[in-house]
Amino acid sequence: MPILPDWINFSFPTKIHFEVDCGFKMGNFVKNIGNRAVILSTQSELENMDEFSIIKTSLEKHIDGVILYDNIEKEPTLKELDTAAYFARISNANCIIGYGSYESLNTAKLVALLANNDAFAEDVFILKKNIRLKKPIPLILIPTHPVMGLECSPTATVYMDDDRTVRYFANEFLFPEMVIADAKISSFMTSADVAKVGVGILAAAVDSILSKYSNELTNSSSLRAIEIIYKNLVPAIRDPKNLQYKNAIFGASLLVGMSHSSSSLGLCYALSLAASNLTNLDVFQAMSILLPHVMEYNLTSSAGKYVMIAKALDEDITNISVIEAAIKAVEGIRKIYIELKIPQRLSEYEVRKIDLPGIASLASSFPFLDSLPRELPKNEIETILVAAF
């Protein structure tokens, strides 16, 4: 399911500012996009208040109005999305700023779109009525840590109000106007946080490469992201306060976002999104657990692509067959897991075997699974989950 028309091989309209310790400059960036801003962050992700204060002060110096909207606790309900969009309208905001992690940035994308359209969240994102959408209010995203490229891709997740089941929404109007990536904001991250986020980026990069919509441009971005993670993740975990390594990880995440904006996420993300919705796993943990198992499943159908991944992981593939080189890619990922002592089983996170059919059913409902290199029946999704259990 390509987000862009199928005649476009690559498009990435988002502006990026990528610099360590640039919080005091952010007002200067934002003033060129809007002069009345609503900062949107969920309560659970309003982190690093020292840096947030610097950012807010900078904004107040350069634009006419800044309001923090933090009335949403975690994943927003459809009603909360509508309320936030209404607040943005009556505030006469001409700029939405998303500050936080996965859910905050996701929510900001949806609110920016709703605020400039006379429609309810359910009609646009769940029922997907034939509504002629207008461009959103300009959106600026400031991730508090990398989120696997989702900070700069035109995708979002939405939760049903009745049973809180997750749904996937993609539209080129969800591209943010600007992403500001500042590794200093992520200074609160622990070694464990860095590990799961880094491996999540690795998994998202592999998903993008395996997509049947990938091409030379998207593959180049994803492969470079894999190289960066391979070289910087372990040092970043050993020294989580070192901003040089964290900055590299932010860069890898942006590269993956550029890639899957024109390519697609795939099976690993589908399984992880479903698992995080139905269990106590978060999406980053799920991505890290499921990546090797997804790679093993796709090995024979994507052997040529695995050779590229093996090279990016600095595996020696001279004088061996393509299949042997492809196996080296999976082995390279597992070496990283062993060095980082990352759990490789769902059961280690108290996921129950009884949960697996539900995860498989929900994962199979996501429309981007049509990007997979081989057809995937629901029973085979369950087989992958059982292998990962």
What is the predicted pLDDT for the residue at 217? 93
Q: Where residue 259 sits, what CATH number does that domain have? A: 1.20.1090.10
Q: 216 and 179, same structural domain?
A: no
Boundaries of domain holding 323: 191-388
Last residue of a domain, one of 163, 186, 209: 186
What is the predicted pLDDT for the residue at 375? 79
d(CA 287, CA 267): 10
d(CA 232, CA 166): 33
What is the predicted pLDDT for the residue at 7? 64
The answer to whether residue 251 is domain-embedded is yes
The answer to whether residue 121 is domain-embedded is yes
Tally the domains of the chain: 2
Residue 228 in tokens: 């960066």
Q: 3-state DSSP call for residue 262?
A: helix
Q: 201 and 136, same structural domain?
A: no
Q: 177 and 244, same structural domain?
A: no
Q: 233 and 173, same structural domain?
A: no
Q: 212 and 166, same structural domain?
A: no
**Quick one: which of 145, 168, 389 has its CA closest to 286?**
389
d(CA 149, CA 143): 10
Last residue of a domain, one of 170, 186, 202: 186
Looking at 211-321, list the stretches that DSSP marks H as alpha helix, in order from N- to C-terminal side: 216-238, 243-262, 267-278, 283-298, 303-312
Residue listed under structure tokens 């476009």: 8
What is the predicted pLDDT for the residue at 248? 96
d(CA 48, CA 162): 33
**Quick one: which of 262, 274, 286, 238 has its CA closest to 363?**
274
pTM equals 0.93
Q: 163 and 117, same structural domain?
A: yes
Q: Is the dihedral of CA 283, 285, 290, 291 positive or negative?
A: positive
DSSP letter for 146, please: -
Q: 79 and 197, same structural domain?
A: no
Q: 133 and 211, same structural domain?
A: no
**Within the chain, which residues score under 50 in pLDDT?**
none
Q: 276 and 383, same structural domain?
A: yes
Query: What's the Cα-to-Cα distance from 278 to each of 88, 127, 213, 269, 358, rounded to whole Å?
Result: 31, 22, 29, 14, 8
Q: 103 and 65, same structural domain?
A: yes
What is the predicted pLDDT for the residue at 1? 58
Residue listed under structure tokens 């909207």: 69
Q: Is the dihedral of CA 370, 323, 333, 249 positive or negative?
A: negative
Last residue of a domain, one of 186, 221, 242: 186
Q: 283 and 153, same structural domain?
A: no
